[in-house]
Amino acid sequence: MGLALQSYVQPTDQLRDNVLAATVSAMDRRVRKRRWTRGNVAWLAAALAMVVLVAWSVRLFRGERTLRVPLERIRISTVLRGEFLEYIPITATAVPITTHHLVAAEGGRIEEVFREAGSFVEAGDEILRLANTNLLLDIMYREAELFQQSNNLRNTKLLMEQNRLQMRRELLEIDHEITRQRRVADNYSTLMEDSLISRLEFEEARDRLDYLTEKRELVLAAQKQDELFRESQLRRLEESLQRMQANLAIVKQNLDALVLRAPVTGQLTALDSEVGQSKARGERLGQIDVLDGFKLRAEIDEYYIARIDRGLRGTFTFDDAAYALHVDKVYPQVVQGRFEVDLRFAGDEPAGMRRGQSVRMRLELDAPYEAMLLPNGPFQQTTGGRWAFVVSDSGGEARKKEIAVGRQNAQYLEILEGLEPGEKVITSPYEFFGDAERLILND
pLDDT at 24: 44
CATH assignment of 88-131+268-364, among 3.30.420.250, 3.10.400.10, 2.40.30.170, 3.30.930.10: 2.40.30.170
pLDDT at 231: 80
Picking from 247-251, 260-264, 369-373, which range would have the lowest pLDDT averaged per residue?
247-251
Tell me the per-residue pLDDT of 308-337, one tens digit each, with 9 for 90 and over: 999 999 999 988 889 999 999 999 999 999
Calculate mean pLDDT across residues 352-375.
89
CA–CA gap between residue 202 and residue 194 (Å, rounded) = 12
* Position 243 pLDDT exceeds 50: yes
pLDDT at 14: 52
Q: List the one residue out of 423, 418, 383, 424 whose CA is nearest residue 404.
A: 418
Tell me the per-residue pLDDT of 33-73, one tens digit each, with 9 for 90 and over: 455 566 566 667 666 766 555 444 444 444 568 999 999 88
pLDDT at 335: 92
Contacts of 1 (CB under 8 A, 6+ apart): none
* Position 5 pLDDT exceeds 60: no
Domain definitions of the chain by residue range: 66-84+368-442, 88-131+268-364, 133-257
- Residue 431 vs residue 1, higher pLDDT: 431
pLDDT, mean over the chain? 81
* Position 252 pLDDT exceeds 50: yes
pLDDT at 38: 63
Q: CB of 96 within 8 A of CB of 289?
A: yes
Tell me the per-residue pLDDT of 135-178, one tens digit each, with 9 for 90 and over: 778 778 878 887 887 887 788 778 878 888 888 888 888 888 88
CA–CA gap between residue 393 and residue 122 (Å, rounded) = 73
- Residue 146 vs residue 121, higher pLDDT: 121
Q: Is the pTM of this model over 0.95?
A: no
* Position 220 pLDDT exceeds 80: yes
pLDDT at 319: 85
pLDDT at 61: 44
| Architecture per CATH, 66-84+368-442 | Beta Barrel (2.40)
pLDDT at 412: 92
* Position 17 pLDDT exceeds 70: no
- Residue 7 vs residue 268, higher pLDDT: 268
* Position 31 pLDDT exceeds 70: no
Tell me the residue length of the chain: 443
Calculate mean pLDDT across residues 223-236.
81
